Chain A
Amino acid sequence: GEEVAQTPKHLVRGEGQKAKLYCAPIKGHSYVFWYQQVLKNEFKFLISFQNENVFDETGMPKERFSAKCLPNSPCSLEIQATKLEDSAVYFCASSKSLQGRVTDTQYFGPGTRLTVL
């Protein structure tokens, strides 16, 4: 599609429950990035993919967070055993390519608001 799509828009989970978020990048974009935005606008990088391969996972809290981008399927971000501090908006972004020294523009989806009670 022409836009990054994210589902669901809102997700409410009790502490300890699992949460799974989905992202479909713009058609033709090879790179997918996940960011977490908590209060006070703070964006935190989580993980990026080049097609179905993990490109950079340095931001992932590995104990409870996992992510995949499989061929012909939306990418997913899964949080096992959610905690209160996981409450945030999770944004997915895609970009066409990473050329040379320049970082291509990342286009953002509408986000998934996760509330952990």
Chain B
Amino acid sequence: QKEVEQNSGPLSVPEGAIASLNCTYSDRGSQSFFWYRQYSGKSPELIMSIYSNGDKEDGRFTAQLNKASQYVSLLIRDSQPSDSATYLCAVSNAGNNRKLIWGLGTSLAVNP
């Protein structure tokens, strides 16, 4: 079992819809959770960070964390074609010297 798991997709949604991306992790000591967006051939770009259970909203993006279920999700409201990219979930904790442990990413396609 990988330490951080994501559905590879592709996840295809129509423009204007809500895209829901999920991530599970195996290390119960994980304390910091990140969603990065990566366009093909580019570097990862931070979308959201979340550290506490519950929801965190930033514009069209909402991250949800449930430590008991070891689950973190990202919702993208009013999806745009420019949101089409790979979304990477990354997890970290102080016990492993803060290195990011990555999922393999979910490919999102937003269709006009």
Contact = CB atoms under 8 A, between A and B. Distances in A.
Nearest to A6: B43
Interface in B58-104: 86, 88, 90, 92-94, 96-102, 104
B44 A91 contact: yes
A62 interface: no
A105 B49 contact: yes
A100 B92 CA distance: 13
Given A59-B99, A108-B45, A110-B42, A103 B93 contact: yes
Contacts of A98: 94, 98
A111 B97 contact: no
Contacts, number: 65
Contacts of B32: 102-103
A102 B51 contact: yes
Contacts of B34: 105-106
A58 B97 CA distance: 10
A48 B98 contact: yes
Interface of A: 31, 33, 35, 40-43, 45, 48, 55-56, 58-59, 91, 95, 98, 100-111
Given A41-B86, A41-B104, A106-B100, 16 more contacts: A33-B100, A35-B100, A41-B102, A43-B88, A43-B100, A45-B99, A45-B101, A48-B97, A56-B96, A58-B97, A98-B98, A103-B32, A107-B46, A108-B36, A108-B45, A110-B43
26 contacts: A33-B99, A41-B38, A41-B105, A42-B102, A42-B104, A43-B100, A43-B102, A45-B100, A48-B97, A48-B99, A56-B97, A56-B99, A59-B99, A91-B43, A91-B44, A101-B31, A101-B94, A102-B31, A102-B51, A103-B32, A103-B93, A103-B94, A107-B46, A108-B43, A109-B43, A111-B43
